[in-house]
Amino acid sequence: MTTKNEENVIGVTVSRAGFAYDIHALVKSFYPACQVRILEGDTESRRDAAPEENDRELSGLPQIRIEIEEEQVTISLTPERGDAASFSGRRITLNADEKGQVSRLEIKNRIKQLLYRMLSEYTGRRLPWGTLTGIRPVKIPMAMLEEGKGDEEILDYMRRTYFISREKGNLATQIARREKALLETLHYENGYSLYIGIPFCPTTCLYCSFTSFPLITWKKRVDAYLDALEREIDFTAQICGDRILDTVYIGGGTPTTLEAPQLERLLGKLHNSLDLSRLKEFTVEAGRADSITKDRLLALKKWGVTRISVNPQTMKQETLDFIGRRHTVEQVREAFAMAREACFDNINMDIILGLPGEGAEDVRHTMEEIGKLGPDSLTVHSLAVKRASRLSQWIQENGLSALVNTDETMQITADGAAGMGMVPYYLYRQKNMSGNFENVGYAREGKFGIYNILIMEEKQDIVALGAGSISKRVFPDGQIVRSENVKDVSQYIERIGEMIERKRVLLED
């Protein structure tokens, strides 16, 4: 007799190692509520080695077998009732290059194409992004635009290769064109952008898995954290002194958990240590309404911050209470009004689609309320279920079907953004996204979030400071090397010398 957990396992055996990540992501897109287990390598011997254990693990749901040969990929799908006749032994040819070799990319794409066709036929579902499971789908049309390809040629390629819908193909290409035009104004070779992480929050939201620490617990160590940040800023001034700083982004956590004097200290340090004279954008995620005060906003404005966020996530009070935001809808309105009174003319708002208990009417209500405020940009997130979040436990108890995100809700936000004079300007995807959709940034012309584009397109070095931050160095050949700071605040403070040395290794020629 199988248990509930065993019945929720889809097993995939693959004859060659190296493709588990892509296979897992695609199968999970069709079966988000199920576990997916991959057995790689010599599958016959693996199954023979422990047949009883494997049979137990692979019971209850369609099971998949992938054979990778020199010239073809063969996939067999055994439906749960054991009738494999219509799905047995589907094949797809592998195409060799001019040297007669078959690349890993070719094998990966062919596996995903055949697997997608079989699962789509078996489940009756089509995924809006087809076989694309990576977080940066806009990179594909971006690269083709740089090669001089036209929109229809790009769309045809993306539909043939990845089976995406026409709507998503058009969206990705439209965004790629906007990104390309904006990125051409930046300094790739001798420029960089700066990220500073403030990992403190008033409370931790239900869905959150970011590096954040409740401020009430860490209040006495915030100044020690700023001490460590100042050492990283000094190092940045030393290592990047002859480079152009294009953008600064202070994120979190919630940066405005810092008191106004602490914000003044941090922003003053940046101005005194770095050359900000050629900045194109200076963003601070003001974030939660319960952290936004007049004195904090005035501190941000005094030190030249040009773009802030006031992020409600939803304008439904019951949902805010449930997800642990600990502020009211009215506080969101008040915080936004304060930001306008402080003369901020580039205010972003974030919302999340697929929050527990919310449907199309709730999304429509949120968009109507945001429309009344009139932000300059809007970031629409499709809820992503993170294993480390409290939401993951909630789903185990209530089921994934309690989260609703559909074409209708996505269209409501797109129409609402258009009604506010905004166009889509950046896009990314995450694992386990509600409805298998995407996150889209909308903005009015001239209000695009430049750092958001940079972090997605990976065209420029990012020097990242603070606990849990990740610096990236982008080499001329496209290679990207990363350096991570430890996530724990205490460890970051105590090991700040080591964090700086990691950056030195990354950034020195």
What tens digit of pLDDT does each residue of 166-190 get? 999 999 999 999 999 999 999 888 8
Phi and psi, residue 3, nearest 5°: -85, 170
- Residue range 244-263: mean pLDDT, rounded: 95
- HSE at residue 413, side-chain half, CA atoms within 13 A, is 32
- Residue range 146-155: mean pLDDT, rounded: 96
Please tell me the class of the 1-122 domain: alpha beta
Least confident of 36-40, 51-55, 227-231, 421-425: 51-55
- Residue range 34-62: mean pLDDT, rounded: 56
Name the DSSP letter for residue 209: -
Mean pLDDT of the chain: 88
Least confident of 294-298, 385-389, 447-451: 385-389
pLDDT confidence of 4, banded at 50, 70, 90? very low
- Which pLDDT tens digit goes with each residue over 402-455? 677 889 999 999 999 999 999 999 999 987 777 788 999 999 999 999 999 999
Least confident of 83-97, 105-119, 169-183, 287-301: 83-97
CA distance 109 to 131: 8
- Residue range 295-300: mean pLDDT, rounded: 97
Q: Is the pLDDT of residue 47 over 90?
A: no
Bin 374: left if φ > 0, else alpha if -120 < ψ < 50, else beta: left
Q: Given this model, what pLDDT does residue 400 score? A: 60
Structure tokens at 53: 């254990």
Contacts of 484 (CB under 8 A, 6+ apart): 468, 469, 470, 471, 502
Name the DSSP letter for residue 184: T
Q: Given this model, what pLDDT does residue 45 score? A: 35
- Residue range 357-365: mean pLDDT, rounded: 94
Least confident of 50-54, 78-82, 169-173, 448-452: 50-54
194 neighbors 246 (Cβ within 8 angstroms): no
Whole-prediction pTM: 0.89
Name the DSSP letter for residue 436: G
136 neighbors 456 (Cβ within 8 angstroms): yes
pLDDT confidence of 46, banded at 50, 70, 90? very low
Q: Given this model, what pLDDT does residue 396 score? A: 64
Q: Given this model, what pLDDT does residue 155 score? A: 97
Q: Given this model, what pLDDT does residue 14 score? A: 95
Q: Is the pLDDT of residue 128 over 80?
A: yes
CA distance 381 to 430: 10
CA distances from 198 to 235, 259, 312, 465, 494 (A): 18, 12, 19, 9, 16
Q: Is the pLDDT of residue 5 over 50?
A: no
For the chain, what percent of residues have pLDDT higher than 70? 88
Q: Is the pLDDT of residue 346 over 50?
A: yes
Structure tokens at 15: 């004859």
Q: Given this model, what pLDDT does residue 495 score? A: 98
Phi and psi, residue 32, nearest 5°: -65, -25
- Residue range 382-391: mean pLDDT, rounded: 67
Q: Residue 261: in which H helix or E strand, if any?
A: helix 260-273
**CATH number of the domain at 185-353+372-382+448-503, please?**
3.80.30
Look at residues 251, 262, 247 and name the one whose alpha carbon lies nearest to residue 306.
Answer: 247
Least confident of 138-147, 213-222, 323-332: 213-222
Q: Given this model, what pLDDT does residue 219 score? A: 85
- Residue range 195-201: mean pLDDT, rounded: 94
7 neighbors 60 (Cβ within 8 angstroms): yes
- Residue range 106-117: mean pLDDT, rounded: 95
Q: Is the pLDDT of residue 48 over 50?
A: no
